[in-house]
Every structure is written in structure tokens, then in C-alpha cells.
């Protein structure tokens, strides 16, 4: 007897297309739980510049992976990949369907195309290797890879100490060559039944108008004050990961007298439009999906696709 795979729905598209509001509507109709696939909504106190759902919405409708880090902390695609897989299993255990919503295409790419499951860096093994370096040359440690990981021995330059260290570290932790993990990418489709809905707009002016309107509202809602507060509360600089996102980095430039106030809003609008353009390019790579033209308010096709996926 074949065991059916757990189901997952993904809702992805460029910024300003209407993903968040649509997700909430779907939540009211289907037995789903929302998982945010947004690299900036993970940060606490970053609300205006990320266009995060209001506190009222977040308190009444659970959004996983929102407000899970402070802005002075880092977060990467590997951590996301690990976190979301745990959350998916948790949601399925409650007989609900995970709804993945967002525009962070690198995150979605890790889910759709797999991510090398490398073990975390280990301080003990790294110290041991550092001690070896005091006794042996980089070239000699590189030669060690010849028997335990011939592929890395061949592909890593004998002077590339960082990669040599990492290859040795992984082998010491796991007993397997680092190339073993490169060749075992796990995709969501290997374990789950996926429905991927790409929200698009044939009329680009619609997205441009929404971006412009949203950016103007952010400044009306005191984005500059939010950034100032964040910098003071968390001792942030423009080098912090959270402050590199659109809106925040432009405001920091303004606060540092590198951008005049009269140009600030337009710089944010331009940067956001460029982001949307890159997101649309990413969307074309995700072929096993259904495109929904939001210009035509094609909600009927969304419901139909979900009904078919869930066998309603």
C-alpha cells in the first residue's frame, strides 16, 4: 500500500503583489498554517520597513518564522532550511497544511532544488585542526584529503586553507567526505506533495504603483523613526545583516548624511522595483508551478487549484 505524501502549498511572488493579504484570506477558508518565507520578517521590531502584518493579525493568526531573531543577530538560508522542515512536520502532526508565503527566492530555491546538508561548524574539531597547522603545512594537510576525500583533494587548491580545514572538519565530525553532503540535496518534493502558486502581473505598472504607494506609506508611518530606534536599541550599523535590506539601508545613508531627505523616498522606490525585477526573474526558474495573474483578480483559479490539491 502506497503511503500518500503530506501536502504543502507555496504562495510566492514579487514584492507588492499581495501575497500576505491573500494568505490571510486562504487561512480563513482552508485548514492551513502560514509559514513566512521572508528573510527580513524574521527580525523583531522591524515592522514598518518590512511591511510586516500588524500585531493584531499576528496575535490572531499564527505566522511561523516571524519575529524569531533580534536585528543584531544573523540568520542564513541553512538555518531557514532546517527551521522550516521542523515546522512543516509540526503542522502536519496537527493535521493542518503548511502554506509557505513570501518573496525570498533564495529561501524558496533551497526548498525546491535542495540544500547541501552540511553539518554545523564544530569548535572542537576546528581547534584540533588549528593545532595540526602548527605542526604541518597547508600542503601536508591537503595531502591528507587524498585518501579520505579524493574529490576534494582534486578540486581544492593546496593553498586554500579555509576549504581544506572545512573538508577535514566535516570528515572528523561525520566520517564522511564533504562531497557526500553535496551529492545528497534533499528537496521538499522528495518528501511532500507540493502545490506552488506563482503570483504574477502581466501589467508591470500595477506592481510599480503598489511599490510606490507602499513606500510612501512607510515614510508616513515613520520609517525613519523606526530605523533610528533600532540603531539605538540594538547598536546597529549599516554592516549588520538586518540593516542591509531595502528601506533600512537607505535610511541609514540618510542618517549618515549620505542621502538628502528629498531623494530618500525615490531611492527606496527604485531599489524596491529592482528587487521585484529580480524576484520575477527567479520565478521563471520554478517551472513546476501554476501562475496566477493578479491583474485579473484570478482568485477563482487559486481556489480551484487548492481544492484539487487538497481533494476538496
User: What's the confidence (pLDDT) of residue 206?
Assistant: 87
User: What's the confidence (pLDDT) of residue 3?
Assistant: 44
Q: Is the pLDDT of residue 223 over 90?
A: yes
Q: Tell me how far apart the alpha carbons of residues 44 and 220 are, in angstroms, rounded to a whole number.
A: 21
User: What's the confidence (pLDDT) of residue 272?
Assistant: 97
User: What's the confidence (pLDDT) of residue 266?
Assistant: 97
pLDDT band of 165, cuts 50, 70, 90 = confident
Residues 103 and 38 sit within 8 Å (Cβ to Cβ): yes
| pTM attached to this predicted model | 0.80
Q: Is the pLDDT of residue 125 over 90?
A: no
Q: Tell me how far apart the alpha carbons of residues 40 and 66 are, in angstroms, rounded to a whole number.
A: 9
Return the higher-pLDDT residue of 119 and 43: 43
User: What's the confidence (pLDDT) of residue 1?
Assistant: 32
Q: Is the pLDDT of residue 195 over 90?
A: yes
- Over residues 145-172, the mean pLDDT reads 87
Enter the CATH code of domain 6-115+186-310.
Answer: 3.40.50.300
Q: Is the pLDDT of residue 105 over 50?
A: yes
pLDDT band of 300, cuts 50, 70, 90 = confident
At the topology level, CATH places domain 123-182 in Histone, subunit A (1.10.20)
Q: 67: closest CA among 48, 90, 92, 40? A: 40
- Over residues 92-116, the mean pLDDT reads 93
What DSSP line would sit under 241-299, residue for residue? GGGGSTTHHHHHHHHTTSS-HHHHHHHHHHHHHHHHHHHHHHHTT--SSEEEEGGGT-H
Distances (CA, A) of 190 to 111, 181, 194, 205, 274: 10, 16, 10, 38, 33
pLDDT band of 186, cuts 50, 70, 90 = confident
- Express each pLDDT in 47-61 by its tens digit: 999 999 999 999 999
Residues contacting 119, CB < 8 A, separation 6+: 170, 173, 174, 181
3-state secondary structure of 107: helix
User: What's the confidence (pLDDT) of residue 298?
Assistant: 64
User: What's the confidence (pLDDT) of residue 112?
Assistant: 94
Q: Is the pLDDT of residue 167 over 60?
A: yes
Q: Tell me how far apart the alpha carbons of residues 284 and 112 are, in angstroms, rounded to a whole number.
A: 13
Kindly list the domain boundaries of the chain, sorted by start residue.
6-115+186-310, 123-182
Amino acid at each position: 500500500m502506497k503511503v500518500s505524501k503530506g501536502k504543502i502549498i507555496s504562495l510566492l511572488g514579487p514584492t507588492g503583489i499581495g501575497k500576505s493579504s491573500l494568505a490571510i484570506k486562504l487561512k480563513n477558508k482552508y485548514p492551513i498554517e502560514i509559514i513566512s518565507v521572508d528573510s527580513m520578517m524574521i527580525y523583531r521590531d522591524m515592522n514598518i520597513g518590512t511591511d510586516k502584518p500588524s500585531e493584531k493579525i499576528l496575535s490572531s493568526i499564527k505566522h511561523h518564522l516571524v519575529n524569531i531573531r533580534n536585528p543584531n543577530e544573523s540568520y542564513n538560508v541553512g538555518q531557514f532550511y532546517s527551521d522550516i522542515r521542523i515546522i512543516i512536520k509540526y503542522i502536519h502532526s496537527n493535521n493542518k497544511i503548511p502554506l509557505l508565503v513570501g518573496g525570498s527566492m533564495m529561501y524558496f530555491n533551497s526548498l525546491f532544488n535542495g540544500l547541501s546538508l552540511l553539518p554545523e561548524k564544530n569548535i572542537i574539531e576546528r581547534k584540533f585542526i588549528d593545532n595540526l597547522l602548527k605542526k604541518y603545512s597547508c600542503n601536508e594537510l591537503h595531502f591528507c584529503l587524498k585518501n579520505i576525500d579524493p574529490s576534494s583533494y582534486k578540486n581544492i587548491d593546496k593553498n586554500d586553507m579555509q576549504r581544506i580545514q572545512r573538508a577535514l572538519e566535516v570528515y572528523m565530525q561525520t566520517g564522511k567526505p564533504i562531497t557526500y553532503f553535496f551529492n545528497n540535496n534533499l528537496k521538499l518534493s522528495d518528501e511532500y506533495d507540493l502545490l506552488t502558486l506563482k503570483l504574477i502581473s502581466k501589467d508591470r505598472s500595477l506592481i510599480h504603483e503598489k511599490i510606490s504607494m507602499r513606500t510612501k506609506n512607510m515614510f508616513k508611518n515613520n520609517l525613519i523613526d523606526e530605523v533610528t530606534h533600532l540603531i539605538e536599541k540594538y547598536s546597529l550599523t549599516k554592516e549588520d545583516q538586518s540593516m542591509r535590506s531595502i528601506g533600512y539601508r537607505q535610511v541609514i545613508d540618510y542618517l549618515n548624511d549620505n542621502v538628502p531627505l528629498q531623494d530618500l523616498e525615490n531611492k527606496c522606490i527604485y531599489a524596491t522595483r529592482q528587487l521585484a525585477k529580480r524576484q520575477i526573474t527567479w520565478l521563471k526558474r520554478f517551472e513546476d508551478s501554476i501562475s496566477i495573474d493578479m491583474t485579473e483578480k484570478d482568485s477563482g483559479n487559486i481556489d480551484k487549484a487548492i481544492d484539487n490539491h487538497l481533494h476538496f
